[in-house]
Amino acid sequence: MYNSCAIFTKNKYMDLNTISLLIFGLTVLIIGGNLLLKAAVSISLRFGIPKLLIGMTVVSLATSAPELIVSIKSAIKGSPDLAISNVLGSNIANLGLVLGITILFSPINISKSVYKKEWPIMMFSAIYFLIVILDGIISKIEGGILVCFLVITISALIKLRDKSEVELENSGEDSFLKSLIVLFFGGLFLYYGSEWFIDGAIMLADSFGISERIIGITVVSVGTSIPELVTSLVAVLNKEKSISLGNLLGSNIFNVFAVLGITSLVTPLSVLDKSIINYDIYVMLFFAAMILPLIFFPKKLVLGRKEGLIILLFYTVYIYQLFLI
């Protein structure tokens, strides 16, 4: 009996340490991403890069930095399922959780560019994701093709972007030295934050006997999607509703083309848990496809609380049944 109590106490403290490591790593990761974003924009403005180009490239890549670093380091550590499910889970969470909660707070109006440009590109990225993953491995060549699509997408979006769309605001220039220092610490925080976060996620999976796929889709992907959730909620509360859906679709595009593409360029990704191919990838496609009819029905070009409840219901059911399969 004494041994049983000792083992229970040890496991209890191990779980607390694991969760603490996970939360601390995530916090450092998010801080690092914000520092990197601030420094990257400041340096880009100093070198005279157009604000429109910064908004479409530097900002998008910087906000995807947590997902990118987590996926690369997961793959290098021998956890390819964690890397792939992070991208899958982030894309599902962006549309199922972040968008659902955002429009539950307040309805948002949809611009025509969303269904004419961002949504078709996002659907293409999701379908191509399905194509490259069906054979169970994403090779370096396929990763290179994804990165090429990223460059083409950025070029097309910049060329087709409406002149009336709001450009990136200049919040004041920092000194070049200060920007470099912030950039350094942002990279440092990203490196160590991702290290602790991934170790915590793997330990959590081992402690509770949960697969890395499920941890990646739930804990890791939701964690790396927190910045998008906070940004969307702040925008809605500040009555800046126009940014939400387009930014979330853009994040999904970058997750596939940039995060998945660059990660598989670093090291090929092999799918170990076949549920990713047989189930999760189709759930991602479902959430992506579901957005279009919701834009037009029941009210055209408006996503309201009713749609938010529908989206959140589907997301909740998906997350719940993950632990039943």
**pLDDT reported for residue 269:** 95
Question: Is this prediction's pTM over 0.75?
Answer: yes
For the chain, how many structural domains are there in total?
A: 1
More confident of the two residues 202 and 270:
270
List, for residues 30-45, the tens digit of each pLDDT value.
Answer: 888 778 777 877 877 7
**pLDDT reported for residue 320:** 93
**pLDDT reported for residue 53:** 60
Q: Range of 98's domain?
A: 2-322
Q: Can you give the CATH number for the domain in which 318 is found?
A: 1.20.1420.30
Asked if pLDDT for residue 54 goes beyond 80, the answer is: no
What whole-number distance in Å separates Cα of residue 116 and Cα of residue 126?
16
Asked if pLDDT for residue 258 goes beyond 90, the answer is: yes
The letter for the amino acid at 119 is W
Grade residue 5 by pLDDT with cuts at 50, 70 and 90.
Answer: very low
Grade residue 124 by pLDDT with cuts at 50, 70 and 90.
Answer: very high
Poorest-confidence range of 82-91, 100-109, 264-273? 100-109
Asked if pLDDT for residue 7 goes beyond 50, the answer is: no
The letter for the amino acid at 277 is I
Asked if pLDDT for residue 3 goes beyond 60, the answer is: no
What whole-number distance in Å separates Cα of residue 139 and Cα of residue 141?
5
Instruction: Tell me the DSSP string of 190-237.
Output: HHHHHHHHHHHHHHHHHHHT--HHHHIIIIIHHHHTHHHHHHHHHHHH
Residue 112, phi then psi, degrees to nearest 5: -65, -30
